[in-house]
Amino acid sequence: MMAALAATELPVIEAEIASLGPWFHNLHLPGGIQTAPAHPLGDFPAFKWQEIAPHVPHDLDGWKVLDIGCNAGFYTFELARRGADVTAIDVDPHYLAQARWAAGRLGLQHRVRFRQMQIYDLVREPGEYDLVWFMGVLYHLRHPLLALDIVRRRTRRLMVMQTMTMPGDQVAMVPEDLGLDERARMQDPGWPVMAFIEKRLRRDPTNWWAPNHACVEAMLRSSGFGVLGRIAHETYLCEPRAGDADELGMVDEELRAATGTGEEEHP
Ligand SMILES: C[S@@+](CC[C@H](N)C(=O)[O-])C[C@H]1O[C@@H](n2cnc3c(N)ncnc32)[C@H](O)[C@@H]1O
C-alpha cells in the first residue's frame, strides 16, 4: 500500500505530469491522479484492459513478460501487479520517460525494466518470454511479418496481439494451392488482405498497414502462432505452434538474411 498523498505533493505531481506530456496512456496514480483524464478515447487503455484482463492468467508470479511498444506502461504495470517480471520496450524516449517516472509513483520499479529499442532489435536478444504483449504496434511497422517472425521466436507460452484492422469479419476458405488463372478469388469477401497506407491515417504517417481479420489470423498462423481466440475487438490471444518444418526452415533462412543474424559469412 502506498501512503496517502500530502496536500503539498499534489501540485508537484501535477506539474511533473504536465512536463512529461503529452500522454497517450491515462494512468491512474495514487491519490486519484490521472495522467490523461480528458483522453479522446475515454479512459484509455483501462477500458480495453477490462475486456482483455479475464483472458490473461490472474497469477503471473514467476512469469517473464515482454511488453513491446509499452508506451507509458499501462499494461506493463497491470501485468507486474499480477506478479510478472516485465521487460518493456519502446522506440520513443518520450514515452519511456513517462513509464519510468510512473513506475516510481506506483512503486513497481523493482518488477519492471524499460528499454529503448526497436522491435526488430529483439532478433539479437537471447531468450524467451512466457507472455509477449504486442498491442497497438503491428500496423505501425513497415515489415509486419518480419516482426511477427521475430516475436514468435521470443514467445514461450502466450502472446496477446492487437492491431488496427480493415472492417470485415468474414473468413474465406483458402485453397491449398491457387491456380494462376484463379486470382480473381483474391477479391472474394474474406480473402486475407492487408491495405497499404502510403499517405496518412488519422494524420499519423507511421500507420502503414491495415489487415482484415482473415489476414491477421493467416499471418499469425504463418508465423507459427495458433490463435486461441479473439478476446476483444482486434485483439488475439495466441500460443506458439510448431509449423511445417520446411516452411519454418525457409522462414529461418529469410529471417537470418534480412536481419544479418546469420552464422555463416558468405564470400
Ligand atoms: C499505438 S501505441 C500502443 C501503445 C500500447 N502498446 C497500447 O496498446 O496502448 C504504439 C507504441 O509503439 C511504439 N512503437 C512504434 N513503432 C515501434 C517499433 N518499431 N519498435 C518498438 N516500439 C514501437 C510507439 O512509440 C508507441 O509507444
Per-residue pLDDT at 215 exceeds 70: yes
Encode pLDDT of 145-188 as tens digits: 999 999 999 999 999 999 999 999 999 999 999 999 999 999 99
Per-residue pLDDT at 2 exceeds 60: no
Residue 46 lies in a domain: no
Residue 242: what pLDDT?
Answer: 75
Residue 87 lies in a domain: yes
Residue 226 lies in a domain: yes
**The total number of structural domains that make up the chain:** 1
Buried b / exposed e across 16-51, counting CB within 10 Å, b at 16+?
ebeebeebbbbbeeeeebbbbeebeeeebbbebbee
Long-range contacts of range 190-194, CB-CB < 8 Å, 24 or more positions apart?
Answer: 190/214, 192/217, 192/218, 192/219, 193/166, 194/144, 194/166
210: left (phi over 0), alpha (psi -120 to 50) or beta: beta
Per-residue pLDDT at 264 exceeds 80: no
pTM: 0.95
Encode pLDDT of 49-107 as tens digits: 999 999 999 999 999 999 999 999 999 999 999 999 999 999 999 999 999 999 999 99
Residue 162 lies in a domain: yes
Percentage of the chain exceeding pLDDT 70:
94
CATH for 252? 3.40.50.150
Q: How far is the C-alpha of 6 from the C-alpha of 137, rounded, in Å?
A: 38
Residue 213: closest CA among 137, 255, 162, 263: 162
Residue 52 lies in a domain: no
Residue 69 lies in a domain: yes
Which of 20, 68, 131, 137 most suits a substitution to test ligand 1, by most atoms within 8 Å of the C-beta?
137
The whole domain housing 121 covers 58-170+183-259
Residue 131 lies in a domain: yes
Residue 125: what pLDDT?
Answer: 92
Measured in angstroms, how far is the CA atom of residue 178 from the centroid of ligand 1?
Answer: 36
Residue 263: what pLDDT?
Answer: 54
Higher per-residue pLDDT: 5 or 110: 110
Per-residue pLDDT at 247 exceeds 70: no
Q: How far is the C-alpha of 134 from the C-alpha of 113, rounded, in Å?
A: 16
Type of residue at 108:
L
Per-residue pLDDT at 245 exceeds 60: no
101: left (phi over 0), alpha (psi -120 to 50) or beta: alpha
69 lines ligand 1 (CB under 6 A): yes
73 lines ligand 1 (CB under 6 A): no
Confidence of residue 115 (pLDDT cuts 50, 70, 90): very high
Per-residue pLDDT at 219 exceeds 90: yes
Confidence of residue 266 (pLDDT cuts 50, 70, 90): very low
Type of residue at 265:
E
Residue 170: closest CA among 188, 186, 145: 188
Angle at CA of residue 177, ends 175 and 183, nearest 5°: 80
Confidence of residue 267 (pLDDT cuts 50, 70, 90): very low
Residue 28 lies in a domain: no
Residue 153: what pLDDT?
Answer: 93
Per-residue pLDDT at 143 exceeds 90: yes
Give the atom of ligand 1 at the shortest distance from the alpha carbon of 25: 9
Rounded to the nearest 10°, the torsion over CA 159, 92, 103, 79 is -10
